[in-house]
Amino acid sequence: MESEFIAISEATKEALFLKSLFEELHLGKQQTIPLHTDSQPVYDHITKNLHHNRTKHIHRRFNFAREANSNGDIELRRIPASEQAADILTKILLRVEHGNALNLLNMHAINIPI
């Protein structure tokens, strides 16, 4: 959970920077930025402000995502692992899971004879 929590915090910082940049360049204004996670513990920790003895060691600087969520700057959304399109880039997938991930990315597999 700690690594995913840190990743959400870093993604929050990047998203808020891009939001600020787009507004400064007059390319649009978005009120709330959606961020997706497939981790239920991270989702609960950020959205429900749950504390647990096992999470007390997480450095306070990574609580930035919790603050941004409560301020309405981001909206953390939980999606099932089966709908996580990034898995194709980070995990070894079975053929069916790989095909599903390609569909989520609007890509198609090319059959190349070996």
pLDDT tens, residue by residue, 78-112: 988 778 888 888 888 888 888 888 888 888 767 77
Element (H, E) at 29: none
Amino acid letter, 59: H
Element (H, E) at 34: strand 33-37
Q: Percent of the chain having pLDDT more than 90?
A: 10
The model's confidence at residue 14, banded by pLDDT at 50, 70 and 90, is very high
Q: What are the C-alpha distances in Å from 2 to residues 13, 15, 67, 69, 99?
A: 17, 20, 17, 18, 30
Measure the CA–CA gap between 90 and 101, rounded to whole angstroms: 11
Instruction: Render pLDDT for 21-49 as a digit per residue (tens, 0 to 9).
Output: 988 888 877 788 999 888 888 888 788 86
* Between 10 and 85, residue with greater pLDDT: 10
What's the pLDDT score for residue 57?
56
* 1, 46 contact by CB (below 8 A): no
The two tokens of residue 6 are 């840190």
Q: To the nearest 10°, the Cα dihedral for 53, 1, 79, 8?
A: 100
What's the pLDDT score for residue 59?
59
